[in-house]
Chain A
Amino acid sequence: MSGPHPLAPRPVVVKSHTQETVDTVTLVLSPPNGERFPRFRPGQFNMLYLPGIGEAAISISGDTKETHQLVHTIRMAGKISNALAALLPGATVGVRGPYGRGWPVREAEGKDLLIVAGGLGLPPLRPVLYDVLDRRDRFGRVEIIYGARTPGDLVFYSALQEWRQRGDLRFQTTVDAAGREWYGDVGVVTTRVPDMRFDPKNSVAFLCGPEIMMKMTARALEARGLPKEAMWVSMERNMKCAIGLCGHCQFGPSFICKDGPVLRYKELEPLLWAKEV
């Protein structure tokens, strides 16, 4: 697709709609006329637009190699996301992007990679997993922790089963509460950190989820010897322009849309622990 205006959405078509959980769907989008989408980096986002309703920043949750389609996983959390989540195959949606700074996957090469995701924090990290599993021999140990509210809130169910079966990574899931049908772990994600196997002198951690989850996980990893500069977090704030002009997503000295959403934890730490930022 040729150089669009950075604020002009391009119409694309919904190819498929998958209900992940009661309030989360994954949409696969196709470009018009057999064109290709621009390549994105893991951790980047697009602005998805519905005329008369509005625009929302949604992380890209698909494989970076697949330029014939775009994948977005959307949680119903308000007027715009509810409307996006209701789109069915054949519907049109406006897309602009990709925007933002993504996960520094290259920095993790040759090292152990720790991925900790909470709730809807897994979709922005799934492109990292696709990338890493494509080039598995370039990374050391790969340890993943995924936490959710209940077993019914775990997204990408069939992918989770597949990742758990793999012998070349360790995948732990935990939920905040469960009924008797659940035989897995129950507890916050930090309860799984002591079980992670990694060399704290040669590891990188990617954390994504509610801020309190990321803060506590960072603290737990630091207690295991991982330095703060080896941790990266993905921040969320209300995005409007997505190109660093409007200031809606400002977080201290940074614009989340432009300087993030992925930021080094060491730089963010004082702000993350401040009560009102």
Chain B
Amino acid sequence: MRIIAPHASETRVLEHPFFEGMDPHLLRTLVPKAVEREYDVGDYVAQEGSPCDEFLLVFEGKLALEIGAADRPHLTVQTVGSGEVVGWSWFVAPNLWRFDVRAVKPTRVVALNAPTVRHALASHASLGYDFLARLLPVLAERLENTRVQLLDTYGR
């Protein structure tokens, strides 16, 4: 892992599709302590059970979300690529990652600082609503996709 920008700019964050059209004034409150990082293939971005204190914007590459148990091999249940986001446990107590996140391609992310984001969302009602309106469709789609995966439609 390499740090590309220890203080990611508003301009950079606004480039990500998740924030498309957001009022720059509101966005400004989310950006303090944001960091841009680069990962090589195989690098862990996060591990299950570790503190989740970042909201990740994926700019390039691909991350695998993996789950595992002691008695079976790790399973990749989803990959997330350029233009997508990872992580919401920073908002949901106990704020621990619920899966491993591993780079399966060289990947570049901007990590928003969770305490900063939580404080900004709590302080500005309109920002809170705007952010939720962006995040919920992502979660809804992922939940729907997971349900279809559970159906095992290709199964024997």
Contact = CB atoms under 8 A, between A and B. Distances in A.
Interface of A: 23, 77, 118-120, 147-149, 153, 174, 176-180, 182-188, 190-191, 209-210, 212-213, 216
A118 B145 CA distance: 14
Nearest to A76: B156
Nearest to B104: A183
Interface stretch (B7-15, B70-78, B90-98, B127-135): B70-78
Nearest to B64: A186
A275 to B, nearest CB: 15
Given A188-B149, A216-B148, A180 B154 contact: no
B62 interface: yes
A180 B41 contact: no
Interface in B89-122: 104-105
Contacts of A188: 145, 148-149
A213 B153 contact: yes
Given A180-B73, A182-B76, A212 B154 contact: no
B21 interface: no
Contacts of B154: 118-120, 147-149, 153, 176, 209-210
B79 interface: yes
B73 A77 contact: no
Contact of A212 (B74, B151, B155, B156): B151
Contacts, number: 66
Contacts of B153: 118-119, 209-210, 212-213
Contacts of A149: 152, 154-155
B76 A186 contact: yes
Contacts of A209: 153-154
A186 B73 contact: no
Nearest to B102: A180
A179 B76 contact: yes
Contacts of A183: 41, 62, 104-105
A149 B145 CA distance: 13
The list of the 8 closest CB pairs from A to B, nearest first, reads A119-B154, A210-B153, A149-B154, A186-B79, A183-B104, A178-B76, A186-B76, A176-B149
14 contacts: A23-B156, A118-B154, A120-B154, A176-B152, A176-B154, A177-B75, A177-B76, A177-B149, A179-B74, A180-B74, A180-B76, A186-B76, A209-B153, A216-B148
A23 B156 CA distance: 8
Contacts of A119: 153-154
Contacts of B105: 183
Contacts of B74: 179-180
A111 B153 CA distance: 30
A187 B79 contact: yes
Contacts of B104: 182-184
A185 B149 contact: no
Contacts of B81: 185
Given A179-B74, A186-B78, 10 more contacts: A176-B149, A176-B152, A178-B75, A179-B76, A186-B79, A188-B149, A209-B153, A212-B151, A213-B148, A213-B153
